[in-house]
Amino acid sequence: MIPFEVAIKIVRDNVVLTGTENIDIKKCLNRVLRQNVKSDMDMPPFDKSAMDGFACRMEDIPNELEIIETVPAGYKPTKEIGKNQCAKIMTGAMIPLGADCVIIVEDTEELENGKVKFTKAKTGVNICIKAEDVIKGDQLLSAGIRITPSVIAALALTGCVSPEVSSKPKVGIISTGDEIVEPYKMPLASQIRNTNSYQLLAQLEEFGCDPTYYGIVQDTKEATGEAIKKAKSENDLIILTGGVSMGEFDLVPGLLKENGFDILFDKVAIQPGKPTVFGRDGSKFVFGLPGNPVSSYLIFEIFVKEFLAGVMGLKNTVKLRRCVLANDFKRKHNVRHAWIPVSIDHNNFATPVDYHGSAHITALPNANGIMSVPVGISELKEGVDIDVRQL
Ligand code: AMP
Ligand code: MG
Protein backbone atom coordinates (compact mmCIF):
# COMPACT_ATOMS: atom_id res chain seq x y z
CA MET A 1 0.00 0.00 0.00
CA ILE A 2 1.44 3.40 -0.99
CA PRO A 3 0.58 6.81 0.50
CA PHE A 4 -1.86 9.06 -1.32
CA GLU A 5 0.84 11.63 -2.08
CA VAL A 6 3.04 9.00 -3.73
CA ALA A 7 0.13 7.69 -5.80
CA ILE A 8 -0.87 11.15 -7.02
CA LYS A 9 2.75 11.84 -7.97
CA ILE A 10 2.84 8.60 -9.99
CA VAL A 11 -0.33 9.72 -11.78
CA ARG A 12 1.13 13.17 -12.54
CA ASP A 13 4.50 11.80 -13.64
CA ASN A 14 2.89 9.48 -16.17
CA VAL A 15 0.76 12.00 -17.98
CA VAL A 16 1.08 12.11 -21.77
CA LEU A 17 -0.16 15.42 -23.17
CA THR A 18 -2.83 15.02 -25.80
CA GLY A 19 -2.72 16.67 -29.23
CA THR A 20 -4.63 19.79 -30.22
CA GLU A 21 -7.22 20.82 -32.76
CA ASN A 22 -8.81 24.10 -33.78
CA ILE A 23 -12.49 24.37 -32.96
CA ASP A 24 -15.07 26.91 -34.05
CA ILE A 25 -15.78 29.50 -31.35
CA LYS A 26 -19.44 28.40 -31.21
CA LYS A 27 -18.38 24.82 -30.37
CA CYS A 28 -15.50 25.35 -27.95
CA LEU A 29 -17.33 25.68 -24.62
CA ASN A 30 -15.72 23.60 -21.85
CA ARG A 31 -12.67 22.69 -23.95
CA VAL A 32 -9.15 23.36 -22.68
CA LEU A 33 -7.43 26.30 -24.39
CA ARG A 34 -3.93 25.40 -25.58
CA GLN A 35 -2.78 28.72 -26.98
CA ASN A 36 -2.05 32.11 -25.46
CA VAL A 37 -4.37 34.78 -26.81
CA LYS A 38 -3.21 38.37 -27.28
CA SER A 39 -5.37 41.32 -28.13
CA ASP A 40 -5.02 42.61 -31.69
CA MET A 41 -6.50 45.97 -30.74
CA ASP A 42 -7.01 48.50 -27.96
CA MET A 43 -10.26 48.28 -26.05
CA PRO A 44 -12.06 50.51 -26.33
CA PRO A 45 -10.49 51.23 -29.72
CA PHE A 46 -11.51 54.93 -29.49
CA ASP A 47 -12.72 57.36 -26.83
CA LYS A 48 -16.28 56.15 -26.44
CA SER A 49 -19.40 57.63 -24.93
CA ALA A 50 -20.57 55.69 -21.86
CA MET A 51 -24.03 57.28 -21.98
CA ASP A 52 -26.70 58.72 -24.25
CA GLY A 53 -26.40 62.51 -24.08
CA PHE A 54 -24.46 65.44 -25.44
CA ALA A 55 -20.71 65.57 -25.96
CA CYS A 56 -19.30 69.01 -25.13
CA ARG A 57 -16.56 70.93 -23.36
CA MET A 58 -16.80 70.77 -19.56
CA GLU A 59 -16.16 74.52 -19.28
CA ASP A 60 -19.23 75.25 -21.43
CA ILE A 61 -21.83 73.32 -19.45
CA PRO A 62 -23.25 76.35 -17.63
CA ASN A 63 -24.16 77.76 -21.07
CA GLU A 64 -26.78 76.94 -23.69
CA LEU A 65 -25.19 74.59 -26.21
CA GLU A 66 -25.73 74.48 -29.95
CA ILE A 67 -26.25 70.93 -31.32
CA ILE A 68 -23.98 70.66 -34.38
CA GLU A 69 -24.52 66.98 -35.27
CA THR A 70 -25.85 63.63 -34.10
CA VAL A 71 -23.37 60.78 -33.62
CA PRO A 72 -24.95 57.32 -33.46
CA ALA A 73 -22.89 54.31 -32.35
CA GLY A 74 -20.89 52.95 -35.28
CA TYR A 75 -20.34 56.29 -37.03
CA LYS A 76 -17.42 58.70 -37.07
CA PRO A 77 -18.15 62.27 -35.98
CA THR A 78 -17.54 64.72 -38.82
CA LYS A 79 -17.24 67.94 -36.82
CA GLU A 80 -15.04 69.23 -34.05
CA ILE A 81 -16.80 70.62 -30.99
CA GLY A 82 -16.09 74.30 -30.46
CA LYS A 83 -17.09 76.80 -27.79
CA ASN A 84 -20.73 76.40 -26.63
CA GLN A 85 -21.29 73.57 -29.08
CA CYS A 86 -22.22 69.95 -28.56
CA ALA A 87 -23.03 66.78 -30.50
CA LYS A 88 -25.97 64.59 -29.63
CA ILE A 89 -24.29 61.26 -28.92
CA MET A 90 -25.36 57.67 -28.22
CA THR A 91 -23.83 55.09 -25.91
CA GLY A 92 -20.91 53.39 -27.65
CA ALA A 93 -20.38 56.20 -30.17
CA MET A 94 -17.04 57.90 -30.88
CA ILE A 95 -16.43 61.12 -28.96
CA PRO A 96 -15.95 64.04 -31.37
CA LEU A 97 -12.70 66.00 -31.26
CA GLY A 98 -12.87 68.94 -28.90
CA ALA A 99 -15.33 67.34 -26.45
CA ASP A 100 -14.11 66.30 -23.00
CA CYS A 101 -17.33 65.14 -21.36
CA VAL A 102 -20.81 63.81 -22.07
CA ILE A 103 -23.75 65.29 -20.21
CA ILE A 104 -26.44 62.65 -19.91
CA VAL A 105 -29.74 63.17 -21.65
CA GLU A 106 -31.69 62.85 -18.39
CA ASP A 107 -29.84 65.92 -17.04
CA THR A 108 -30.65 68.18 -19.99
CA GLU A 109 -33.49 70.20 -21.41
CA GLU A 110 -33.85 70.79 -25.17
CA LEU A 111 -34.79 74.43 -25.73
CA GLU A 112 -37.13 75.87 -28.35
CA ASN A 113 -34.23 77.57 -30.12
CA GLY A 114 -32.81 74.09 -30.91
CA LYS A 115 -30.13 74.43 -28.26
CA VAL A 116 -29.74 72.28 -25.18
CA LYS A 117 -29.21 73.21 -21.54
CA PHE A 118 -27.65 71.25 -18.69
CA THR A 119 -30.03 71.23 -15.72
CA LYS A 120 -27.76 69.93 -12.95
CA ALA A 121 -24.86 71.46 -11.06
CA LYS A 122 -22.21 68.88 -11.91
CA THR A 123 -21.55 66.14 -14.46
CA GLY A 124 -19.31 63.14 -14.63
CA VAL A 125 -17.02 62.77 -17.65
CA ASN A 126 -18.97 59.75 -19.02
CA ILE A 127 -16.25 58.84 -21.51
CA CYS A 128 -14.54 55.44 -21.73
CA ILE A 129 -10.98 56.30 -22.66
CA LYS A 130 -9.29 54.51 -25.59
CA ALA A 131 -7.36 51.43 -24.37
CA GLU A 132 -8.50 51.80 -20.76
CA ASP A 133 -9.53 48.11 -20.64
CA VAL A 134 -7.04 46.45 -22.99
CA ILE A 135 -3.90 47.62 -24.75
CA LYS A 136 -3.10 46.10 -28.14
CA GLY A 137 -0.69 43.19 -27.58
CA ASP A 138 -1.87 42.47 -24.02
CA GLN A 139 -2.08 38.74 -23.29
CA LEU A 140 -5.72 38.19 -22.38
CA LEU A 141 -5.86 34.41 -22.07
CA SER A 142 -3.25 31.80 -21.19
CA ALA A 143 -2.96 28.23 -22.41
CA GLY A 144 -4.30 25.73 -19.88
CA ILE A 145 -7.59 27.35 -18.93
CA ARG A 146 -11.05 25.87 -19.29
CA ILE A 147 -13.13 27.70 -21.91
CA THR A 148 -16.11 29.26 -20.13
CA PRO A 149 -18.65 31.73 -21.54
CA SER A 150 -16.57 34.71 -20.42
CA VAL A 151 -13.44 33.19 -21.99
CA ILE A 152 -15.46 32.86 -25.20
CA ALA A 153 -16.22 36.59 -25.00
CA ALA A 154 -12.49 37.32 -24.77
CA LEU A 155 -11.86 35.05 -27.77
CA ALA A 156 -14.51 36.93 -29.73
CA LEU A 157 -13.00 40.28 -28.68
CA THR A 158 -9.66 39.31 -30.18
CA GLY A 159 -11.11 37.77 -33.31
CA CYS A 160 -9.85 34.32 -32.24
CA VAL A 161 -12.73 32.45 -33.88
CA SER A 162 -11.01 29.08 -34.18
CA PRO A 163 -9.04 28.62 -30.95
CA GLU A 164 -6.53 25.83 -30.50
CA VAL A 165 -7.82 23.41 -27.87
CA SER A 166 -6.90 19.98 -26.56
CA SER A 167 -8.27 17.05 -28.48
CA LYS A 168 -10.71 15.19 -26.28
CA PRO A 169 -9.11 12.19 -24.60
CA LYS A 170 -10.88 8.99 -25.66
CA VAL A 171 -11.95 7.02 -22.63
CA GLY A 172 -13.51 3.56 -22.56
CA ILE A 173 -15.73 2.52 -19.66
CA ILE A 174 -16.20 -1.10 -18.62
CA SER A 175 -18.31 -2.28 -15.69
CA THR A 176 -17.58 -5.68 -14.24
CA GLY A 177 -19.81 -7.87 -12.12
CA ASP A 178 -22.20 -10.79 -12.57
CA GLU A 179 -24.65 -9.05 -10.23
CA ILE A 180 -24.84 -5.82 -12.25
CA VAL A 181 -27.72 -5.13 -14.66
CA GLU A 182 -28.44 -2.07 -16.75
CA PRO A 183 -30.81 0.49 -15.23
CA TYR A 184 -33.32 -0.17 -18.00
CA LYS A 185 -33.99 -3.58 -16.41
CA MET A 186 -35.66 -4.63 -13.19
CA PRO A 187 -32.94 -6.42 -11.18
CA LEU A 188 -33.59 -9.97 -9.99
CA ALA A 189 -33.34 -10.76 -6.27
CA SER A 190 -29.56 -11.12 -6.34
CA GLN A 191 -28.83 -8.23 -8.70
CA ILE A 192 -28.32 -4.46 -8.53
CA ARG A 193 -28.49 -1.76 -11.16
CA ASN A 194 -25.39 -0.36 -12.81
CA THR A 195 -24.84 3.11 -11.45
CA ASN A 196 -21.08 3.46 -12.00
CA SER A 197 -21.05 3.44 -15.79
CA TYR A 198 -23.62 6.20 -16.07
CA GLN A 199 -21.97 8.22 -13.34
CA LEU A 200 -18.62 7.86 -15.11
CA LEU A 201 -20.08 8.73 -18.51
CA ALA A 202 -21.39 11.94 -16.99
CA GLN A 203 -18.19 12.71 -15.08
CA LEU A 204 -16.14 12.24 -18.25
CA GLU A 205 -18.52 14.25 -20.41
CA GLU A 206 -18.50 17.09 -17.91
CA PHE A 207 -14.72 17.07 -17.72
CA GLY A 208 -14.42 17.41 -21.50
CA CYS A 209 -13.59 13.85 -22.57
CA ASP A 210 -14.95 11.59 -25.27
CA PRO A 211 -16.29 8.53 -23.43
CA THR A 212 -17.38 5.22 -24.96
CA TYR A 213 -19.29 2.68 -22.95
CA TYR A 214 -18.41 -0.99 -23.44
CA GLY A 215 -21.17 -2.43 -21.27
CA ILE A 216 -21.19 -4.78 -18.31
CA VAL A 217 -18.87 -7.77 -18.47
CA GLN A 218 -19.25 -11.02 -16.53
CA ASP A 219 -16.62 -11.88 -13.93
CA THR A 220 -14.87 -14.32 -16.26
CA LYS A 221 -11.37 -14.09 -17.70
CA GLU A 222 -12.74 -14.37 -21.23
CA ALA A 223 -15.42 -11.67 -21.02
CA THR A 224 -13.36 -9.18 -19.01
CA GLY A 225 -10.16 -9.85 -20.97
CA GLU A 226 -11.89 -9.37 -24.31
CA ALA A 227 -13.47 -6.08 -23.23
CA ILE A 228 -10.11 -4.79 -21.96
CA LYS A 229 -8.45 -5.71 -25.26
CA LYS A 230 -11.12 -3.98 -27.37
CA ALA A 231 -11.36 -0.86 -25.18
CA LYS A 232 -7.56 -0.58 -25.06
CA SER A 233 -7.28 -0.65 -28.84
CA GLU A 234 -9.90 2.09 -29.24
CA ASN A 235 -9.07 4.53 -26.42
CA ASP A 236 -6.31 6.47 -24.67
CA LEU A 237 -7.62 5.49 -21.25
CA ILE A 238 -9.80 2.65 -19.97
CA ILE A 239 -11.74 2.91 -16.73
CA LEU A 240 -13.01 -0.32 -15.23
CA THR A 241 -15.16 -0.50 -12.14
CA GLY A 242 -15.34 -3.48 -9.84
CA GLY A 243 -13.19 -6.57 -9.77
CA VAL A 244 -10.15 -4.94 -8.18
CA SER A 245 -10.48 -6.25 -4.60
CA MET A 246 -9.24 -9.51 -3.12
CA GLY A 247 -12.23 -11.78 -3.93
CA GLU A 248 -12.02 -14.93 -6.00
CA PHE A 249 -13.74 -13.19 -8.92
CA ASP A 250 -11.72 -9.97 -8.77
CA LEU A 251 -9.85 -10.62 -11.98
CA VAL A 252 -9.07 -7.14 -13.23
CA PRO A 253 -5.43 -6.56 -12.10
CA GLY A 254 -4.29 -9.95 -13.49
CA LEU A 255 -6.08 -9.39 -16.79
CA LEU A 256 -4.61 -5.90 -17.16
CA LYS A 257 -1.13 -7.44 -16.89
CA GLU A 258 -2.06 -10.13 -19.43
CA ASN A 259 -3.12 -7.32 -21.76
CA GLY A 260 0.23 -5.59 -21.60
CA PHE A 261 -0.29 -3.03 -18.85
CA ASP A 262 2.35 -2.36 -16.20
CA ILE A 263 0.61 -1.87 -12.90
CA LEU A 264 1.98 1.35 -11.39
CA PHE A 265 -0.02 0.95 -8.20
CA ASP A 266 -2.82 -1.26 -6.98
CA LYS A 267 -3.26 -0.29 -3.35
CA VAL A 268 -3.35 3.23 -1.99
CA ALA A 269 -3.70 4.33 1.64
CA ILE A 270 -6.93 6.19 1.00
CA GLN A 271 -10.48 5.76 2.20
CA PRO A 272 -12.56 4.93 0.29
CA GLY A 273 -10.80 3.44 -2.71
CA LYS A 274 -7.92 1.42 -1.28
CA PRO A 275 -7.79 -1.15 -4.14
CA THR A 276 -7.53 1.52 -6.89
CA VAL A 277 -5.38 0.35 -9.81
CA PHE A 278 -3.40 2.53 -12.20
CA GLY A 279 -1.61 0.98 -15.16
CA ARG A 280 0.22 1.98 -18.30
CA ASP A 281 1.28 0.46 -21.58
CA GLY A 282 3.13 3.14 -23.57
CA SER A 283 0.56 5.80 -24.39
CA LYS A 284 -2.38 3.67 -23.17
CA PHE A 285 -3.56 3.97 -19.59
CA VAL A 286 -5.99 2.24 -17.28
CA PHE A 287 -7.69 2.96 -13.99
CA GLY A 288 -9.38 0.11 -12.15
CA LEU A 289 -11.82 1.65 -9.69
CA PRO A 290 -13.50 -0.13 -6.80
CA GLY A 291 -17.05 -1.21 -7.59
CA ASN A 292 -18.80 0.76 -4.91
CA PRO A 293 -20.31 3.82 -6.53
CA VAL A 294 -19.18 6.35 -3.91
CA SER A 295 -15.61 5.05 -4.17
CA SER A 296 -15.82 5.14 -7.95
CA TYR A 297 -17.08 8.73 -7.82
CA LEU A 298 -14.45 9.96 -5.37
CA ILE A 299 -11.52 8.20 -7.04
CA PHE A 300 -12.57 9.72 -10.34
CA GLU A 301 -12.62 13.15 -8.68
CA ILE A 302 -9.25 12.70 -7.01
CA PHE A 303 -7.12 10.55 -9.32
CA VAL A 304 -8.74 10.31 -12.74
CA LYS A 305 -9.40 14.05 -13.00
CA GLU A 306 -5.79 14.76 -12.00
CA PHE A 307 -4.64 12.46 -14.78
CA LEU A 308 -7.04 13.81 -17.42
CA ALA A 309 -6.23 17.41 -16.49
CA GLY A 310 -2.58 16.64 -17.17
CA VAL A 311 -3.47 14.93 -20.46
CA MET A 312 -5.49 17.95 -21.60
CA GLY A 313 -2.96 20.50 -20.32
CA LEU A 314 -5.51 21.94 -17.88
CA LYS A 315 -3.98 23.96 -15.05
CA ASN A 316 -5.49 24.68 -11.63
CA THR A 317 -8.14 21.98 -11.66
CA VAL A 318 -8.85 21.76 -7.97
CA LYS A 319 -10.95 24.54 -6.49
CA LEU A 320 -10.44 24.69 -2.74
CA ARG A 321 -12.84 26.58 -0.54
CA ARG A 322 -11.99 27.60 3.01
CA CYS A 323 -14.89 26.45 5.20
CA VAL A 324 -15.72 25.99 8.84
CA LEU A 325 -16.41 22.45 10.02
CA ALA A 326 -20.00 22.39 11.30
CA ASN A 327 -19.75 19.28 13.54
CA ASP A 328 -17.05 17.32 15.34
CA PHE A 329 -15.51 14.72 13.04
CA LYS A 330 -14.11 11.47 14.47
CA ARG A 331 -12.82 8.26 12.93
CA LYS A 332 -11.57 5.01 14.46
CA HIS A 333 -8.59 4.40 12.18
CA ASN A 334 -6.28 7.07 10.88
CA VAL A 335 -3.81 5.13 8.73
CA ARG A 336 -5.47 6.10 5.45
CA HIS A 337 -6.09 9.52 3.87
CA ALA A 338 -9.88 9.93 3.99
CA TRP A 339 -12.06 11.83 1.54
CA ILE A 340 -15.39 12.78 3.05
CA PRO A 341 -18.31 14.18 1.00
CA VAL A 342 -19.59 17.34 2.69
CA SER A 343 -22.37 19.80 2.14
CA ILE A 344 -21.37 23.48 2.34
CA ASP A 345 -24.10 25.95 3.30
CA HIS A 346 -24.46 29.65 2.48
CA ASN A 347 -22.57 30.60 5.63
CA ASN A 348 -19.63 28.45 4.58
CA PHE A 349 -20.23 25.74 7.17
CA ALA A 350 -19.27 22.28 5.90
CA THR A 351 -21.20 19.29 7.22
CA PRO A 352 -20.19 15.72 6.33
CA VAL A 353 -23.18 14.25 4.49
CA ASP A 354 -25.07 11.42 6.12
CA TYR A 355 -23.13 8.62 4.52
CA HIS A 356 -23.19 4.98 5.60
CA GLY A 357 -20.46 3.60 3.43
CA SER A 358 -19.15 3.51 -0.07
CA ALA A 359 -22.25 1.84 -1.48
CA HIS A 360 -24.45 4.70 -0.27
CA ILE A 361 -24.84 6.36 -3.64
CA THR A 362 -27.83 8.53 -2.72
CA ALA A 363 -25.68 10.44 -0.21
CA LEU A 364 -23.65 12.07 -2.96
CA PRO A 365 -26.22 14.41 -4.50
CA ASN A 366 -26.33 16.18 -1.11
CA ALA A 367 -22.60 16.86 -1.25
CA ASN A 368 -21.02 19.89 -2.91
CA GLY A 369 -17.54 19.37 -1.55
CA ILE A 370 -14.99 16.80 -0.42
CA MET A 371 -13.13 17.20 2.84
CA SER A 372 -9.65 15.80 3.06
CA VAL A 373 -8.56 14.08 6.29
CA PRO A 374 -4.87 13.20 6.10
CA VAL A 375 -3.18 10.18 7.65
CA GLY A 376 -2.66 10.51 11.42
CA ILE A 377 -5.73 12.67 12.00
CA SER A 378 -8.53 10.95 13.91
CA GLU A 379 -10.48 13.96 15.03
CA LEU A 380 -11.42 17.41 13.79
CA LYS A 381 -13.22 19.79 16.14
CA GLU A 382 -16.37 21.68 15.23
CA GLY A 383 -15.46 25.24 14.25
CA VAL A 384 -12.00 24.54 12.78
CA ASP A 385 -11.10 25.95 9.38
CA ILE A 386 -10.84 23.31 6.66
CA ASP A 387 -10.04 23.47 2.96
CA VAL A 388 -12.81 21.75 1.04
CA ARG A 389 -12.41 20.60 -2.56
CA GLN A 390 -15.43 21.96 -4.40
CA LEU A 391 -17.56 19.69 -6.53
P1 AMP B 1 -16.27 -5.15 -6.46
O2 AMP B 1 -15.27 -4.02 -6.43
O3 AMP B 1 -16.43 -5.79 -7.77
O4 AMP B 1 -15.98 -6.11 -5.36
O5 AMP B 1 -17.66 -4.47 -6.09
C6 AMP B 1 -17.85 -3.83 -4.86
C7 AMP B 1 -19.30 -3.49 -4.67
O8 AMP B 1 -19.70 -2.55 -5.63
C9 AMP B 1 -20.24 -4.66 -4.82
O10 AMP B 1 -21.24 -4.58 -3.84
C11 AMP B 1 -20.81 -4.48 -6.20
O12 AMP B 1 -22.07 -5.06 -6.34
C13 AMP B 1 -20.85 -2.99 -6.34
N14 AMP B 1 -20.73 -2.60 -7.75
C15 AMP B 1 -19.81 -3.06 -8.60
N16 AMP B 1 -19.98 -2.53 -9.83
C17 AMP B 1 -21.05 -1.70 -9.73
C18 AMP B 1 -21.72 -0.88 -10.66
N19 AMP B 1 -21.34 -0.79 -11.93
N20 AMP B 1 -22.78 -0.14 -10.24
C21 AMP B 1 -23.17 -0.24 -8.94
N22 AMP B 1 -22.57 -1.00 -8.02
C23 AMP B 1 -21.52 -1.74 -8.39
MG1 MG C 1 -17.32 -7.41 -8.54
φ/ψ of residue 343, rounded to 5: -110, 130
1.10.240.10, 2.60.40.10, 2.170.190.11, 3.40.50.970: CATH of 48-128: 2.170.190.11
* Nearest ligand atom owner, CA of 215: 1
Each residue's pLDDT tens digit, 329-380: 999 999 999 999 999 999 999 999 988 878 888 889 999 999 999 999 999 9
CB 102 within 8 A of CB 89: yes
3.30.70.260, 3.40.50.300, 1.20.1530.20, 3.40.980.10: CATH of 4-17+167-312: 3.40.980.10
Give percent of the chain with pLDDT exceeding 70: 100
CB 40 within 8 A of CB 154: no
Contacts of 209 (CB under 8 A, 6+ apart): 168, 169, 170, 171, 308
The neighbour count for residue 185, using CB atoms within 10 Å, is 10
Q: What is the CB < 6 Å shell around ligand 1?
A: 175, 177, 179-180, 192, 194-197, 241-245, 247, 250, 290-293, 359
pLDDT at 233: 98
State the Cα–Cα distance between residues 149 and 350, nearest whole angstrom.
29
Each residue's pLDDT tens digit, 133-167: 999 999 999 999 999 999 999 999 999 999 999 99
pLDDT at 355: 80
Each residue's pLDDT tens digit, 171-219: 999 999 999 999 999 999 999 999 999 999 999 999 999 999 999 999 9
**Ligand 1 pocket, mutate which of 182, 185, 192, 297 (most atoms under 8 A from CB):** 192
pLDDT band at 237 (very low <50, low <70, confident <90, very high): very high
**Residue with CA closest to ligand 1 atom 17:** 291
Report which ligand 1 atom has the smallest distance to the Cα of 295. Answer: 8
Average of per-residue pLDDT across 270-294 = 97
pLDDT at 359: 81
User: Which tops the pLDDT comparison, 372 or 317?
Assistant: 372
State the Cα–Cα distance between residues 335 and 10, nearest whole angstrom.
20
Average of per-residue pLDDT across 261-272 = 97
Each residue's pLDDT tens digit, 10-51: 999 999 999 999 999 999 999 999 999 999 999 999 999 999
pLDDT at 351: 96
Each residue's pLDDT tens digit, 93-130: 999 999 999 999 999 999 999 899 999 999 999 999 99
CATH topology of domain 320-390: Beta-clip (2.40.340)
Supply angle C-alpha 377, 353, 191, rounded to 5: 110
**Residue with CA closest to ligand 1 atom 5:** 291
Asked whether residue 316 carries a pLDDT value surpassing 90, the answer given is no
Longest CA–CA span in the chain (Å) reads 98
3.30.1330.10, 3.40.140.80, 3.40.30.10, 3.90.105.10: CATH of 21-42+146-166: 3.90.105.10
